[in-house]
Chains A and B, each alone.
Chain A
Amino acid sequence: MRIALFVTCVNDLVFPATGQAVVRVLERLGHTVEFPVEQSCCGQMHANSGYRAEALPLVRNFVDTFGRYDAVVAPSGSCVAMVRESYPRLAGPDPELAAAVAELAPRVHELSELLVDVLGVTDVGAAFPHRVTYHPTCHGLRMLRLGDRPLRLLRAVRGLDLVELPGAEECCGFGGTFAVKNADVSAAMLADKCAAVCDTGAAYVAAADNSCLAHIGGGLSRRGRSTPGAPRAVHYAEILASTEEEA
């Protein structure tokens, strides 16, 4: 099976460790991962802010780049949701593009979908001896319906103490440009999410999306400046990549 990694633009620039973690996990399981360098951004911010015309070339680029692979994996729930849920809508008026999107979209997976559904694994041989809580993110929860896939993967990690996050299903307040356009409301939502995370006593809060994590992590880090020991935000792929030696 030819698995291509769509690392996503934010991860490429700001969180390369997440992309590296995906590669390590899949290679450890005996798979070969390819990274087509033509890839860039899925166009989510453009499309969600109402810039369809600006998003369309990015849709085309995505389809051209990944069309030839058996499976595409991305460590980002929102980018996968963009491809699977919004691409058909954006491509709609262009029948050729719409057909290409319809053909490709079912093969684009969030990491936990690839691992659990396509490759049939829940134990990826990881070790991470820390208390962790998991924020499911809106895209993972309500658009991709990831369900307990990430939790099953995390529960199989040796040494990991998974604690439930109260109000887990509530949005963290990121919402792309919402965080800037409605900064006050976003901050109010973030404060509640950070409080819930801190209340769990976890050392790490994990999620399937680095954009939400940057938001939550930024809030926790700001809190941590006054109260040291605040939990840290980490992509769950990085937990899955950790092994005994590093632990």
Chain B
Amino acid sequence: MGTVDRSARDEILARIRAVRPDEPVSVPREYRTGPVAGGTVGEPGEAEAAALDGELIELLVDRLVDYRATVRRCAPQDVPGALAELLGEVPTVVVPPGAPVRWLSAYLGRIRRDGDPEPLTVADLDAPGVAVVTGCAVAIAQTGTLLLDGAPDQGRRLLSLVPDHHLCVVRAGQVVGGVPEALARLADPTRPTTLVSGPSATSDIELDRVEGVHGPRRLDVLVVTD
């Protein structure tokens, strides 16, 4: 639509130029951007780094559970079994185009892969008994947050939105301490990105948190550690 009115734009910009402050502002960044564990700040040495990884995972699990997510931990070779167990009686599972085939090798229900052959419709995803399994780009221990950036193992945004049950596979190496490290890890910030912290919830009734509104009401997280 090439009919944008330039006069409002030019007038607003001119007005702002006339009144804006003329002092340049320097931005201090004294907040923490490095590793964090158990709420303490500091740069760890190499020896501490391994211990820290363990702590980060503990922290992530603690925070996810606090948000009423179901959390399981398993070794890499046990992923199919663990997923099958979490899925239980779920009749249909949806996966993004690039999800490893191995993930659902122990699951006995119906598997539908987005884009194979056709993109799944909203109705497909909204059908009763549909769960979705995705990976994630990075996870934040301090806040219990999963970042999905549309990479092939995560897929389109609606995949992790419309089904009522979302399972997310997190590898140990994807877990970081805080928000700054997580955003820095995103490969391309202009890809549609969603930060998920627990199942959908609301604080709109008496400012107290209740889980379960429009997004998936069940969030399961499988943390894969060595």
Direct contact of A and B (CB under 8 A): no
